Amino acid sequence: MDLKNKSVLITGGTGSFGKKFIKEVLDNTKCPRLVVYSRDELKQYHLLEELKITNAKDIEQNRIRFFIGDVRDSGRLEMAMKGIDYVVHAAALKQVPAAEYNPMECIKTNILGAQNIIDSAIKNNVEKVVALSTDKAANPINLYGATKLASDKLFIAANNLSGSNKLKFSVVRYGNVFGSRGSVVPLFLSLKEQGVTTYPVTDKRMTRFWITLDEGVKFVLNTFDRMQGGEIFVPKIPSVNILDVLEAIDSDCEYEEIGIRPGEKLHEVMCPSDASHEVIEFNEYYIIPPSIQFFSEEINYYISKDKKNGKNVSDGFEYNSLNNSSFLTVDEIRDYITNYL
C-alpha cells in the first residue's frame, strides 16, 4: 500500500497504534498528507518533537499535520476531514475496568464518536474508512466490548448511508497488542526492574491473542487494498498463555493468582461459533461479511478487492485464543520481547 496521492487521517494518532502507524506511513509510503487527530495536546507536542529528529524532512514538507480534537465533537471532525481520502479510526476508551466504572463516558467516545466519524466521512466524500475493533467485541461480557460491537455495527451499516458516494467502511478486529499501553508485558517488565519476586496473575489458565504493533499497522494498511465495504477483517495470529509470558520475562519467579478483573474473560474470541455460517477464510485472515443486504450493489465477498479467493469455514467453527492452532512458545515470546521492546 503506497498511498500515492491519498491524504490520510488517523484518529487517536498519539496512542500506541497511532504512533507506529504514523512512522510506517511517513517512512514507507508516498502519502502526501497525514492528519493526526487526537485530544491530548501534550502527547501531540512530544510526538512532534520526536518527529523533528526522526522525520525532519517530512515536517518541513508539511506531510504531517496535527489537529487537536475529540471524536465526540462532530464539528471539529468534519473540519479535520476536509480533503481526506482515507480514514483510520483508532481513537477509543479501551481500559476494561475503567469502562465498567464510567460506562457513559465509554459510550460517548466509542459509540457516539463512531457515528460522528461516519457522518463526517460522508459529508467530506472520503473514499475509505477502516475502523479498529477488538476481540472483546465478539460475544462481549464487558461494556468496552459491547460499545465496540455497537461501533462495528454502525460502520458496517454505514455502507448503506453513502448512497451514490463511493465511500466504503470496513472494520479490523484483532487481539491483544504486544507491548501496548496497559498490557501485561510492560507491567511484568516494570515489576522485574523493581526486584519483585512474586508477580500478580489474574488466572493461570488465561490465554490471549498476540499481535505486534508492526503487524497490526501493516494489516490495517493492507485492508485498504482488500476491502469492498462491510467486512470485519480478522488476522490469523498466534495465542499465548499468561504463565508462558511470565516465564519468558522471569523464569525464576513465583506468582500469585489475584482473580479476574471486572469484565475480563479467561479466553478471547474473534470469530464466534454463532457466526460460523458467515465466516470466510483466506490465507492470512478471516472475514465476517455483513449480515444485512446493501442497497447499492451486490458484493461477492469470496473474492477480495485484491483478487484473493476465500472459502467457507466448517460449521460451528470458532476462532478463539484457547483453540487456536498457533501458540507461541516461551522462547518465541522471549524473542518478541527482545526484538520489539
Asked whether residue 295 carries a pLDDT value surpassing 70, the answer given is no
The CA-based angle 170-171-174, given to 5 degrees, is: 155
Mean per-residue pLDDT, 84-103: 94
pLDDT tens string 225-269? 999 999 999 999 999 999 999 999 999 899 999 998 888 899 999
DSSP sequence for 111-173: IIHHHHHHHHHHHTT-SEEEEE--GGGSS--SHHHHHHHHHHHHHHHGGGTSTTS--EEEEE-
Nearest to 305 by CA among 209, 228, 247, 194: 228
The whole-model pTM stands at 0.94
Which residue is catalytic, options 6, 19, 20, 136? Answer: 136
Nearest to 238 by CA among 311, 298, 175, 157: 175
Nearest to 127 by CA among 186, 96, 170, 71: 170
Measure CA of the first residue to CA of the last residue in the chain; give whole Å: 26
Residue 339 is predicted with a pLDDT of: 83
Give just the sign of the alpha carbon dihedral 120, 122, 126, 132. positive
Nearest to 282 by CA among 298, 301, 266: 301
Output the nine-digit C-alpha cell for 270: 474473534
pLDDT tens string 161-205? 876 678 999 999 998 888 777 678 999 999 999 999 899 999 999
With DSSP H G I counted as helix, E B as strand and the rest as coil, what are the percentages for the chain, rounded to 5?
A: 40, 20, 40
Beta bridge partner(s), residue 115:
none
Distance CA 289, CA 185 (A): 33
| Radius of gyration of the chain from its Cα atoms, rounded to whole angstroms | 20
**Residue 154 · residue 118 · CB < 8 Å:** yes
Distance CA 239, CA 69 (A): 35
The structural domains of the chain, ordered by start, are 7-175+212-236+272-316 (3.40.50.720)
Nearest to 95 by CA among 284, 264, 318: 264
Residue 268 is predicted with a pLDDT of: 94
The CA-based angle 83-84-88, given to 5 degrees, is: 165
Catalytic residue list contains 192: no
